[in-house]
Structure 1
Amino acid sequence: MDELDQNPATGPLDTVECGTSDDRHTSGRSNSLIICPRCRIWGYISIHNMDEPKSRPESDRFTTMRQYASIEQLAKEHQCAMCVSILASYRAWIPYLPNASSWPTSRIVLEISGPFYLDPGLDPSAKLLPRRGDRSNPDHIVVRMFLRLEVKGLPPPKTEAGNETSEQFFVTTPSGNDPTDEFRMPPTWLVATPRFKMTYSNDEAKALVGVEEWDVPFFDVNLLKSWLKRCEDCHGSLCAGEETEKMSLPAGFRVIDTHENKIVQLEGSFRYVALSYMWKVGPDNNFQLEKDNVASLEEPHSLEVVQLPNIVADAIALCRDLGERYLWIDRLCIVQDDIVGKLDQINAMDAIYRSASFTIIGALDTRDDIGLPGYAGRPRHPSIWWPAYKPEVESQGIRCGEIMSDFINPTLWNRRGWTFQERLLSRRSIFITHHQVIYECFQDEAMELLTWATHEESSGDEASGALGSFTRGVIESEPFEYRIWGNISLLDYCRWVFDYTSRQLSNRGDALNAFNGVSNVLERALNSPMLFCIPEKSMASCLFWDCFGPFSHQGEVYDVPSWSWVSSSKAVGYGSLDSRRSIDREFFDIVSIVYFYFQDPNGGLRKLDVEERWVKHGVTIQELSERGELPTLSGKHIPAEWRTNEDWKECPQNPWIARKHEELGPDIRGSAALFPGCLVFNTTVASLRIGQLIAGGYPTEVTDAPLIDKNDNYVGNIRNMDRGWIAAHCSRDGIQKWYEIVVITSGLDDYSLRKRLGFEKRHSEMWVLHVMMVERLPCKQFVARRIGVGKVIMSRWKDCNPRWETVILC
């Protein structure tokens, strides 16, 4: 690999410029006390493309560059303001770079890209936006921009003899000579996007006269007001939602009167704001509403004489500054030691958050009581600690669509269980992060950072945030990930389950309560009761949730049966665990062959109203049993009609036989009553063994556990089980371990597998039975708990010696 030439005038630094030539930046004057020869490119305002976009030639529309410099080189240029700022950023990161302490500074390289700006760069018609800079001072032009800094560690170069060379710094290209090629660089240790304020003289030279790091420590409350006003004026009921007008708040609903600083109960219609935040860990500063202080806190100014958590005090003050009188905060509006009343409030979280005018969200990454960053004298983190922006090289702007996921989704607040429904149920949200404020409603998103580079050069309404602050509308955008918008489907439900179960709960016993608000919404949207967070109408398919490894029950979740995902101590998903957010719609194309009953904890045993199907047809078991031939299916890789009828008639559990096993035996009700919340159903059961895994292949922590019958034939599998669990439970060396496998539903195998089976002429294996592996309890009746789910090839079920049983799944 060849080393690039070093320019003696600039030192060993390579600069790659796009769409411009060097002579564009070498005229005029530059202050050497501010900028060094190596950084001379920043000395002239032409690097920022300050001309109107339409006046520039197409070939000269962009000026972005990339520089490489070692830490050793930057340290030598301590008189340069740019070098000093960049080096200061690196030194702040050193404690968080495990490789830096053992790496020579001559081999630690910074890749510096820029300039980039805090705007999208393009308007909705994909035309370049003009950038004029701040010209409020007639003597100067101020440009606010950011750089993308990547820290890389170069491996020691080798000589032909294999020894290290003495060169301090080198960069190679694929061609070895052409400096315009993409550089081959080692993996990046860290990426950051610090911001800078560049001040240029407003004369003919337009030379750089000042460089300083640029941060916005506090947010502007008026900007937040402008977002809310725009939403109310432009969106109206679209963001309010029709159903919120019909919701009734729970009995005993209280709010904080921010004008009189007290707790109140109001009658009639009123407007209020909600708060979503994380409670501080530990007993300190956790003041809350309790039975013995309700009366005193209803007195005017009572909240002024108690010690409130900083985030609560800040939220009350911010609500007042936003012109809102009433605020709902759980710890001060729910009587925490009133067990019955508290449960009523928790069960109405959907009404509370959906009825709020908007929600203030403390989307923070700590549970320490730091208050609301950027407000009430609490400055925010400098930009070097922010999540890195993802700039667009051509437009020199930021990728607005990724800001939400970069700044909010990774936070500790968004990883907590209770906050899931608070985010999902809120119709308008003001996210206050460590770094910036973001607004989201049903129609738009707005970001504080999109106003920073423009507010000082604007006036009037533009300064309040109307200039470029909103980034998208519902027509142009993808569906909001955390929004209840339009029709809610089972696909939404499955995505929400995965998101929720992937989060943390301090008290695992809250797993059911923290989803109750979402369950209430789902009941209305799906027109189905929710049984332990599973929709009754879709019980057959929604029993097939997956988790990595065998089912592990949450001991703290009392009275929740094992068939509900609420009981799982692990994250749960539906469909392929590798793509939980893009579930194949065929997952719901099942064949109903079981009647389900439910032991209601508040009543007796009742038959469930489960939607019965034949793949894509809404056909009941009774209707199928009255037909001589099964409904015809269409599509690719579907077994022929004659084969389907033949295979199903040979199966020990088919619609004709299942119809005869609809009713339960007379002794079942007494047994089921001993297990509140259990599912009861008649089905076929077989005792099968776990087979040993075949050596080879790509090793993974979890894999499918093969099921084998008494003749050692493979008949199916149980999905996503730990390899260690399989090794401990498989049959080997004459030791036979049998496990109970019960049939729940049936359907066609996955499309990709059917395609392969069709190519191999194995059409009879396209139909499968969806089964559950259970642990049978020592009871007279077949009482069992869930272990895992999987499938059995339907044509091989008859060889497994299945028997009809009444299963009580608890």
Structure 2
Amino acid sequence: MACLCALCESMSSEALPDFPEENYMRTVSGHAYLQHLIVPKSKRSEPLGFKHHPDLESLRRAAKEGCDLCHLIEAQADDVLSDFEKEEMPLLQELGIDGQDGIWVLTNCSWEPGVKVVPIAAIAFYTQQDGPLAEIIKGHLINDTPDESVLSRIRSWVAACDKHDRCAQHDRTMPTRVIDVGDEKSGNYVKLAETTVDDQERYIALSYCWDIGTKQYTTIQATVAERKQGIDMSTLPKTFQDAIALLRQLRVRYIWIDSLCICQDQIHEWERESAKMAMVYTNAYLTVATTGIDSSDGVYYKCIEGIQTETGLTLPDRFQYAYDALDKTKTEMTEKSFTGKLRSKRSSNRILEQWYGLLWGYGRRKLTCASDKLPAMSGLARIYHELLRDEYLAGIWKTNVVEGICWQGLHCSSPPNDEYRAPSWSWASVDGVAVTGFSGNDYLATVIDSHVEVDGDNPFGKVKNGWLRLKAPLVPLTLSDAKGPTEDMFLRTLDGDQGCYAGFDVIDRNSQVSADKIRAMKLFALILVRTAPTEDDADLTYFALIVEPTGSEMGTFRRIGSFLCGRKAFGPDDLDKISEVKLV
């Protein structure tokens, strides 16, 4: 039984309002835990939720006295404080987004109360699968390893999926090669098998994290014949072994594992097969996805201390068995229907939202080979190309170029050895998360022309170079004397106010580290978009790229960052200073 303080006891989770997500704009702080949500003056509402402890000291006192909920909130608040420390932190509490079983804990920023709020904690509720609250709370505890009840549940999900009209009609074209696992009587050996265009057998795809150890188990041209004769399972990584054992229990004969089924030393084959990778997962009967950080963790990897994502949110610390059907997504913890949301509304805006969501998740992944940033997404890019009927420009869709280059870098770094991977305006030019979200606004930039030269046979893969020619306001920038709460640098225009936070992509944003370097650079704001005008123009937010001249050609610039600011950041005539620039 949970112990709660009087304040938490008085709070009714059913009475907590949903967070008004549509009113808030998400920003990127550059810190693991400190994030901002900004609301325009015209959309502010009070109270935002249930008022919790008035300050951090009160929260700590309740936690120390034994309140379990306050203890959870305190632990996550300490993570926020590792990025930023403020004396007074009045807390607000409210129901989680999308009506899930849980709560958000927010605090107003004391330097901009009512304008900015910062998520402090996210608390999820769960119960035992056969507990008295199982019908009310969807989340429940899951096992570390699969027992017969888990396998039975998976089989029931698959059986239900087989009855779906859409699922039954999906393409069963097999990958070029698969691993034939036989059955439990096959013992410790499996083998590589070639397929034909007529083969329509069920197979399972394995999604896992490549690591240095995986390279020991790759297939190359010289080992294809040997692997067709047989592969001793005991020589494979634990993740592969677990997946094969699961296949046999589910009575599926074939599995696709990229490192074993694609010749890793054949460049043209790798380009061809990587371009089809998304269809391999789409056509798979099931996909087994692991959360382990390397192939030795196994399918049933258990993260003892939790997995920290780049956004500072803690993912579940136990694996989940899950499957995606064309109508529903089910996991051991919950079931959520997407019918009519993702599958039937195929508008361009919805498809683009899905694409940007994929980029968020993709940016957090650590690639074994840094040069694979675009090739690894090429299979998905091909599918979205067919959905959007649009030209692909190094990760950006041509019809939505301005929106596409309005990304903010979060914990980004340069590729190893400063290897050229993409134009500076593409999210693929950096390692890390590229956060998008400026859509349906008032665009101040116009695209005149664009060009990307691909490197190889895959039109969605590696690129040699690329550029955009734009017309947009171009305003000189200088380092401001003002700084952010964590000593982050501000940039200002010559005739504007004290300026705004400088979201450099790979340059350290701390003034003590990089101020001298920034003072020596010639910087400009290339203003791309502003939020749609409201009754109060003071609410307008502008998005600009921080650019610098390349020095190679007059009017040619490269992106080095981005920033968000209000109208006061610019002088009276700044937004009228339209220039034609080439962005490389």
Give the TM-score band, short-chain normalised. Answer: 0.5 to 0.7
Q: Take 1:291 and 1:310, find their aligned partners in 2: how far apart are those partners?
A: 24
- Output aligned runs, 1:650-689, within 5 Å: 677-683=465-471, 686=474, 688-689=476-477
The answer to whether the aligner puts 1:315 opposite 2:243 as a matched pair is yes
Report Cα offsets for 1:170-195 as digits up to 9, x if no partner: xxxxxxxxxxxxxxxxxxxxxxx9xx
Bigger relative contact order, structure 1 or 2, given CA contacts below 8 A and separation 6+? 2
Partner of 1:438: 321
Q: Take 1:551 and 1:434, find their aligned partners in 2: how far apart are those partners?
A: 27
Partner of 2:228: 298
Per the alignment, do residues 770 and 216 of structure 1 end up closer, same or farther by CA in structure 2, a change over 3 Å counting? closer
Q: Paired residue for 2:178, among 241, 255, 258? A: 255
Q: Take 2:559 and 2:207, find their aligned partners in 1: how far apart are those partners?
A: 35
Partner of 1:289: 219
Q: Take 2:208 and 2:385, find their aligned partners in 1: how far apart are those partners?
A: 26
On the 8 A contact 1:561/1:677 being kept in 2, the answer is yes
**Structure 1: gaps spanning 5 or more residues:** 1-13, 19-67, 71-114, 130-145, 147-192, 194-214, 374-379, 388-409, 416-430, 451-470, 576-585, 604-674, 759-765
Partner of 2:111: none
Q: Take 1:685 and 1:230, find their aligned partners in 2: how far apart are those partners?
A: 54
- Output aligned runs, 1:578-617, within 5 Å: 587-591=439-443, 593-601=445-453
Partner of 1:94: none
The answer to whether the aligner puts 1:472 opposite 2:335 as a matched pair is yes
Q: Take 2:474 and 2:3, find their aligned partners in 1: how far apart are those partners?
A: 71
**Structure 2: gaps spanning 5 or more residues:** 7-62, 66-125, 456-462
Report Cα offsets for 1:618-644 as digits up to 9, x if no partner: xxxxxxxxxxxxxxxxxxxxxxxxxxx
On the 8 A contact 1:348/1:517 being kept in 2, the answer is yes
On the 8 A contact 1:350/1:518 being kept in 2, the answer is yes
| Residue type at the aligned position of 2:330 | E
Partner of 2:515: 727
Q: CA deviation at 1:273?
A: 0.8
| Residue type at the aligned position of 1:298 | K
Q: Take 1:531 and 1:234, find their aligned partners in 2: how far apart are those partners?
A: 36
Q: CA deviation at 1:548?
A: 4.8
Query: Runs of 4+ in structure 1 displaced over 6 angstroms?
Result: none
Q: Secondary structure at the match of 1:694?
A: strand
| Residue type at the aligned position of 2:251 | G
On the 8 A contact 1:685/1:740 being kept in 2, the answer is no
Per the alignment, do residues 370 and 571 of structure 1 end up closer, same or farther by CA in structure 2, a change over 3 Å counting? closer
Report Cα offsets for 1:660-679 as digits up to 9, x if no partner: xxxxxxxxxxxxxxx95322
Partner of 1:501: 363
Q: Take 1:346 and 1:537, find their aligned partners in 2: how far apart are those partners?
A: 25
Per the alignment, do residues 715 and 597 of structure 1 end up closer, same or farther by CA in structure 2, a change over 3 Å counting? farther
Q: CA deviation at 1:118?
A: 4.0
Q: Greater Rg, structure 1 or structure 2?
A: 1
Q: Take 1:549 and 1:701, find their aligned partners in 2: how far apart are those partners?
A: 16
Q: CA deviation at 1:123?
A: 5.9
| Residue type at the aligned position of 1:547 | G
Partner of 1:779: 552
Q: Secondary structure at the match of 1:489?
A: helix
Q: Secondary structure at the match of 1:262?
A: strand
On the 8 A contact 1:740/1:773 being kept in 2, the answer is yes
Report Cα offsets for 1:571-614 as digits up to 9, x if no partner: 22124xxxxxxxxxx643233652332223159xxxxxxxxxxx
Q: Paired residue for 1:273, among 182, 193, 204? A: 204
Q: CA deviation at 1:701?
A: 4.9
The answer to whether the aligner puts 1:788 opposite 2:574 as a matched pair is no
Q: CA deviation at 1:355?
A: 0.5
| Residue type at the aligned position of 1:700 | T
On the 8 A contact 2:555/2:582 being kept in 1, the answer is yes
- Output aligned runs, 1:696-775, within 5 Å: 699-702=485-488, 704-708=490-494, 712-714=495-497, 719-721=502-504, 722-724=509-511, 727-728=515-516, 738-743=522-527, 745-748=528-531, 755=536, 757=538, 770-775=543-548
Per the alignment, do residues 748 and 290 of structure 1 end up closer, same or farther by CA in structure 2, a change over 3 Å counting? closer
The TM-score, its normalising length taken from structure 2, stands at: 0.62
Identity of aligned residues (%): 19
The answer to whether the aligner puts 1:121 opposite 2:123 as a matched pair is no
Q: Secondary structure at the match of 2:268?
A: helix
On the 8 A contact 1:705/1:726 being kept in 2, the answer is no
Q: Take 1:123 and 1:239, find their aligned partners in 2: how far apart are those partners?
A: 30
Q: Paired residue for 1:512, among 343, 356, 374? A: 374
Q: Take 1:436 and 1:568, find their aligned partners in 2: how far apart are those partners?
A: 30
Over aligned residues, Cα RMSD in angstroms? 4.7
Q: Secondary structure at the match of 2:465?
A: coil
- Output aligned runs, 1:23-102, within 5 Å: none
| Residue type at the aligned position of 1:224 | L
| Residue type at the aligned position of 2:352 | L
Q: CA deviation at 1:525?
A: 3.1
Q: Take 1:444 and 1:218, find their aligned partners in 2: how far apart are those partners?
A: 21
Q: Take 2:225 and 2:409, find their aligned partners in 1: how far apart are those partners?
A: 48
- Output aligned runs, 1:320-469, within 5 Å: 320-364=248-292, 366-367=293-294, 369-373=296-300, 410-411=306-307, 437-442=320-325, 443-447=328-332
Q: Paired residue for 1:693, among 481, 492, 497? A: 481
Q: Paired residue for 2:405, among 531, 543, 554? A: 543
Per the alignment, do residues 723 and 587 of structure 1 end up closer, same or farther by CA in structure 2, a change over 3 Å counting? farther
Q: Take 1:305 and 1:742, find their aligned partners in 2: how far apart are those partners?
A: 56
Q: Take 1:333 and 1:737, find their aligned partners in 2: how far apart are those partners?
A: 49
* Higher strand proportion (structure 1 or 2): 2
On the 8 A contact 1:547/1:573 being kept in 2, the answer is yes
